[in-house]
């Protein structure tokens, strides 16, 4: 069966023979999942621009999301959606329906349902092509298992300022963040361009080290640095702790369309779930509306939002 035919005529769900079409349905689901991963990677790699506002620490190459993370997050979300929709639809169909549909036929129909995902992703991809990139500023980061080379650091030990110079300085963690004049770190969120510039001009960088080591010096377990100069920095991993999006710019279209996308696929797939359950299990129309509602509540609360 053509998946589009099933979407146009949901009543044909009861004519689907899973033994013949399960492979075709799996291909449709796979393509839909890959389309989700492709759109997510496209948005974060080509429609997202970020600036690392961390002074000398900006030499570290930071990426908002790694390629493998984007791929796995997208595929996990799609598979989670499949499990939730099939689970809710199957349970309610058995409880409320007057007929019984085999699990193979039921699964085949719902694998075809993910054609909706592909259609929505094509629309999102087309809509984002002419939009400007969304800009972000990184205002805080945590470096793990980090090595500093040719470092000079100053901190206060009690009432005494201590300064050491070392060729190699290791720290289990190094927290770097911008702090405002009131002592608060810059919170993740959306700011106007003027607010971003004010934050950069008025805030100061603070650095703290956990479990630092620089033989032959004996260092405290945690140091809040007053001054820190180094020639190079090599972290094993980097975690962004504070990031700001620029509001009131053309690129702000992307978060808006992401909200529309998540609402659209959830509503559409919930509606089709109710219709398919009605035709496969011969439920009443009132029961179909109940299935739609419960499916939407399930995917809205249990399936992560996707870009």
3-state SS class at 126: helix
Minimum mean pLDDT range among 16-20, 132-136, 276-280? 132-136
Same-domain pairing of 231 and 154: yes
Same-domain pairing of 51 and 101: yes
Same-domain pairing of 219 and 297: no
Q: Is residue 292 part of a domain?
A: yes
pLDDT at 106: 95
What band does 244 get if pLDDT is binned at 50, 70 and 90?
A: confident
User: pLDDT tens across 62-104, in order?
Assistant: 665 678 878 888 888 899 999 999 999 999 999 999 988 899 9
Same-domain pairing of 96 and 187: no
Q: Is residue 291 part of a domain?
A: yes
- Name the β-bridge partners of 213: 170
Same-domain pairing of 215 and 97: no
Same-domain pairing of 281 and 184: no
Same-domain pairing of 180 and 275: no
Q: Determine contact, residues 207/225, Cβ cutoff 8 Å.
A: yes
Q: How many Cβ atoms from other residues are within 10 Å of residue 297's Cβ?
A: 13
Q: Is residue 258 part of a domain?
A: yes
Boundary-marking domain end, from 248, 272, 290: 248
Q: Which residue has the tokens 């075709």?
A: 24
Tell which phi-psi region holds residue 189, choosing left (phi > 0), alpha (psi between -120 and 50) or beta.
left
Q: Is residue 307 part of a domain?
A: no
Q: Is residue 201 part of a domain?
A: yes
Same-domain pairing of 22 and 118: yes
Range of the domain at 207: 135-248
Quote the number of domains for the chain.
2
Q: Is residue 31 part of a domain?
A: yes
Helix residue ranges per DSSP H, the chain: 3-8, 18-46, 67-96, 103-113, 115-128, 193-202, 253-281, 285-302
Same-domain pairing of 48 and 117: yes
Same-domain pairing of 241 and 180: yes
User: pLDDT tens across 270-305, in order?
Assistant: 999 999 999 999 999 999 999 999 999 999 999 887
Same-domain pairing of 48 and 186: no
Boundary-marking domain end, from 223, 248, 273: 248
The pTM assigned to this predicted structure is: 0.72
Same-domain pairing of 104 and 151: no
User: Does residue 134 or residue 150 have the better pLDDT?
Assistant: 150
User: pLDDT tens across 164-209, in order?
Assistant: 999 999 999 999 999 988 888 888 877 888 888 888 888 999 999 9
Is the pLDDT assigned to residue 161 strictly greater than 80? yes
Cα–Cα distance measured from residue 200 to residue 162, given in angstroms and rounded to the nearest whole number: 28
Q: What is the DSSP string of 19-47?
A: HHHHHHHHHHHHHHHHHHHHHHHHHHHHS
Q: Which residue has the tokens 């399930």?
A: 298
């Amino acid at each position: 069966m053509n998946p589009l035919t099933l979407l146009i005529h949901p009543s044909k769900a009861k004519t689907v023979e899973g033994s013949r079409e399960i492979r075709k349905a799996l291909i449709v689901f796979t393509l839909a999942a890959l389309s989700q991963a492709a759109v997510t990677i496209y948005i974060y790699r080509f429609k997202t621009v970020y600036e690392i506002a961390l002074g000398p620490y900006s030499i570290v190459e930071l990426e908002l999301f790694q390629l493998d993370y984007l791929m796995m997050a997208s595929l996990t979300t799609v598979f989670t959606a499949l499990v939730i929709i099939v689970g809710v639809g199957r349970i309610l169909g058995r409880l409320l329906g007057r007929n019984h549909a085999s699990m193979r036929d039921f699964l085949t129909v719902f694998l075809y349902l993910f054609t909706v995902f592909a259609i929505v992703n094509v629309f999102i991809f087309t809509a984002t092509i002419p939009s400007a990139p969304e800009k972000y500023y990184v205002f805080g980061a945590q470096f793990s298992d980090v090595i500093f080379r040719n470092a000079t650091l100053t901190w206060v030990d009690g009432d005494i300022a201590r300064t050491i110079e070392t060729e190699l300085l290791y720290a289990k963690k190094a927290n770097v963040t911008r702090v405002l004049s009131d002592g608060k770190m810059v919170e993740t969120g959306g700011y106007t361009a003027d607010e971003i510039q004010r934050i950069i001009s008025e805030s100061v960088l603070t650095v703290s080290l956990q479990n630092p080591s620089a033989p032959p010096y004996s260092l405290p377990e945690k140091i809040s640095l007053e001054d820190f100069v180094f020639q190079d920095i090599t972290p094993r991993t980097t975690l962004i702790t504070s990031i700001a999006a620029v509001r009131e710019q053309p690129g702000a279209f992307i978060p808006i369309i992401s909200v529309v996308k998540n609402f659209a696929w959830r509503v559409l797939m919930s509606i089709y779930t109710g219709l398919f359950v009605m035709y496969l299990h011969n439920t009443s129309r009132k029961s179909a509306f109940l299935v739609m509602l419960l499916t939407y509540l399930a995917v809205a609360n249990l399936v992560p939002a996707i870009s």
